[in-house]
Amino acid sequence: MTRNPFRLLRALRGACPIGARVASRFAPGGLAWLAPLLLGPACALALDIGEIQVHSALNQLFDARIPLPTLAPEELGKISVKLAPTPMFKEFKLERAPVLTNLVFSVEYNAEGQVYVKVVSTKPIQEPSLGLLVEFAWPRGKTFREFTVFLDPVKRLAQRPGDRSKTVLNAPTAVSAPPVEAVPPPVGAAPPVEAVPPTVVAAPPVEAVPPTVAP
């Protein structure tokens, strides 16, 4: 019976880190690269967050979408989104304006299965621009993402400053190191042997033999 690799990998989604190892083991050679894509954000080191899409204008109820492209509809329970707390606004050097407390966040998906964060307000927004700092809580930790929103049509055409983000991963479980065995003290080295100079024996002198004279 032929095993369906796609069904197997999807069944292991969210089982990180064990699911990632099992998925890579059972995925055929050409499909092993699909494992990290199908296991979802639980195994990712950073949550993929798209750019904010605003569908409202000045003096209207705020209406915006923030895409979460790597999430599937069945993973909505793994993500929670809200306005970041005051200490994080201070860390980003942003003002937590009172108007931001009127924003409501919810994680939803459309008919195409695309997951996004819906951001609406309970009152019309009269400020021409908003500095949002949103907290995304996911299985591996939290991501704080800054969004700069211009509701004034003139300012909306201006160049937008680069948004910042910060990810704080949960601390991994500590693993105790094995005890280190005691190393016995080194054996004392033998005393050095004194070098003995070589004995030179002088050869006896050779007596000179007088030459023989012919008669």
pLDDT of residue 164: 76
Q: What is the CATH number of the domain that holds 163?
A: 2.60.40
Q: Provide the domain count of the chain.
A: 2
Same domain assignment for residues 76 and 9: no
Q: What is the mean pLDDT of residues 196-213?
A: 54
Indicate if 11 and 61 belong to the same structural domain: no
Same domain, 112 and 139: yes
Structural domain contains residue 125: yes
- For residues 34 and 87, state if they share a domain: no
Q: Is there a domain that residue 65 lies in?
A: yes
The answer on 104 and 69 residing in a single domain is yes
Confidence band, pLDDT 50/70/90 cuts, at residue 32: very low
Q: Does residue 126 belong to any structural domain of this protein?
A: yes
Let me know if residue 175 belongs to a domain: no
Q: Are residues 70 and 152 in the same domain?
A: yes
Name the pLDDT band for 84 (thresholds 50, 70, 90): very high
Give the pLDDT confidence score for residue 192 in this predicted structure.
59
> Quick one: 89 and 117 in the same domain?
yes
88 and 115 inside one domain: yes
| Structure confidence by residue, pLDDT tens digits, 44-71 | 557 899 999 999 999 999 999 999 999 9
Domain stops at, among 152, 169, 186 = 169
**One domain, residues 140 and 100:** yes
Q: Same domain, yes or no, for 10 and 97?
A: no
Confirm whether 209 is domain-assigned. Answer: no
The 10s digit of each residue's pLDDT in 150-196 is 998 765 545 455 567 787 777 765 555 666 666 666 665 555 556 55
Range of the domain at 135: 53-169
Q: 78 lies in a domain? A: yes
Same domain? 89 vs 129: yes
Q: Are 62 and 151 found together in one domain?
A: yes
Query: Model's pTM, two decimal places?
Result: 0.59
63 in any annotated domain: yes
Report d(CA 42, CA 74) in Å as an integer. Answer: 13
Residue 59 belongs to some domain of the structure: yes
Could you say which of 169, 185, 208 is where a domain stops?
169
